[in-house]
Amino acid sequence: MTERRYFGTDGIRGRVGEGAMTPEFMLKLGWAVGEHLRHTTGRSKVVIGKDTRLSGYLFESALEAGFAAAGIDVLLVGPMPTPAIAYLTSTFRAQVGVVVSASHNPHYDNGIKLFGAEGRKLPDTDELEIEAALESAMHCVAPEAVGRARRIEDAGGRYVEFCKSTFRSPAALHGLRVAVDCGNGATYHVAGDVLRELGASVTELAVKPDGFNINQGCGATDLALLQRTVTEQQLDLGIAFDGDGDRCMMVTRSGQVVDGDQLVYVIATSRKQRKKLRGPVVGTLMSNLGVEQALMEQGIEFIRAKVGDRYVMEQLLTHDGLIGGESSGHVICLDRTSTGDGIVTALQVLAVIMNSGQSLEELIAPIHLYPQLLVNVRLESGDANSVLTAAAVQQAKQTVEAELKDAGRVLLRPSGTEPVIRVMVEGEDGASVKHHAEHIAQAVRDVSAG
């Protein structure tokens, strides 16, 4: 196989009960991953974690049965952030980590992410081999070879201690007043403990998941609750995570949003000042031009990867870099951990604040963001590639690019997780950016409608 049927840019994702999001598919997927492991590494073990969606129980059990049928031992850790599974996979010497999560999506979606033994997402070649195994008939190993399963009761404590170990500052967080919005997701029982144990005064938000309220009016994708709490209670700053805890967004004491691009700038410039930065900083095609310019003014090379934290990681490894990320809040600090981690990201920024004595507002002040607008157009018909290459869409894009010249950017790309085309326009004037983005988006809508 050369093309992936099920895996997108961030694992497999969809609406529960439809497509790949069924118990039958999850049973087969567990078996297929197990078969891949058995033929490449011999008898193996995997770690399975999940976020707080109700459907996590369903898929966790189906995956467990599939792995057992392939002769693979299973360690169950329950609700844990995605980066915690990456860490636990490595620390337990497991061959694969499995996360049952649809990240920032609503509760009615779910998905699967896979990590290798080193705590990094599986490469495309492994995903293709797993998809090939999915096409085979499922069978069970001999009764004496069936995999065992056990639950790890102290997984949360292990991860809390790991996160704390990444906070490298002689000054603890004493005196810092923060609000933490866990999005009713997988960080709900660990993020507050990490910050409190490091000395901060913590106001917790959205830490009562009920299986349905994940990412609902809270978390890294909806910052209104966090902004209101920080400003009304006059706190120093706010931190928000998405449903599976690999994204981090922050707000200043005045309620200003600080996105992943800006967090990358804060972390990278601090590392540079302390002579701890190596290689270029990696962003994506969506990264704001203002952040690129601010980094360059500090003498820091900046390169762009395709959208998706797996592609940021690829570029970091290729260019021997340490720091990279996306505006959505995925930030990778390879000098601290093996994958994007929302809590670790927050701790790196807090360490800069404590070491420098500067506020978050002061740290991001050198960045002059360009107005940027992202319009998500849901497809009514046709596949994304045919819509993107349609003459009308290309003509609209070229018209806008001609008007922007060198003072802006246009990016059209399909979502890796939804039937959506993302239209991004960036320029010097907010009103013209809005006009240009809507012009292209309407061309996409017209072509999709047929």
pLDDT at 159: 98
The pLDDT of 166-189, averaged and rounded, is 95
3: its two tokens: 């093309």
pLDDT for 140 beyond 90: yes
The pLDDT of 225-246, averaged and rounded, is 98
58: confidence class by pLDDT, cuts 50, 70, 90: very high
List of residues 6+ apart from 429 with CB closer than 8 A? 371
CA distances from 100 to 16, 80, 133, 241 (A): 12, 10, 20, 17
CA torsion through residues 46, 335, 327, 365, sign: positive
pLDDT for 361 beyond 60: yes
The pLDDT of 244-251, averaged and rounded, is 97
Q: Which of 122, 368, 155 is nearest to 261 (CA)?
A: 368
Give the amino acid at 334: L
148: confidence class by pLDDT, cuts 50, 70, 90: very high
The pLDDT of 30-51, averaged and rounded, is 92
The pLDDT of 250-258, averaged and rounded, is 98
pTM listed for this prediction: 0.91
263: confidence class by pLDDT, cuts 50, 70, 90: very high
The pLDDT of 279-296, averaged and rounded, is 95
pLDDT at 449: 87
pLDDT for 417 beyond 90: no
pLDDT for 1 beyond 70: no
pLDDT for 282 beyond 80: yes
* Contact in structure between 282 and 301 (CB atoms under 8 Å): no
Give the whole-angstrom CA distance, residue 309 versus residue 115: 13
437: confidence class by pLDDT, cuts 50, 70, 90: very high
323: its two tokens: 């720091």
**Phi, psi dihedrals of residue 39, rounded to the nearest 5°:** -85, -15
195: its two tokens: 């910050």
pLDDT for 43 beyond 80: no
Q: Average per-residue pLDDT in the chain?
A: 95
Give the whole-angstrom CA distance, residue 57 versus residue 152: 16
**More confident call, 41 vs 37:** 37
The pLDDT of 111-122, averaged and rounded, is 91
Element holding 408 (H helix, E strand): strand 408-414
DSSP designation for 180 = E
Active site residues: 103
15: confidence class by pLDDT, cuts 50, 70, 90: very high
pLDDT at 10: 79
The pLDDT of 327-349, averaged and rounded, is 97
pLDDT for 415 beyond 90: no
pLDDT at 407: 82
CA torsion through residues 209, 46, 35, 124, sign: positive
Give the amino acid at 150: R
pLDDT at 2: 57
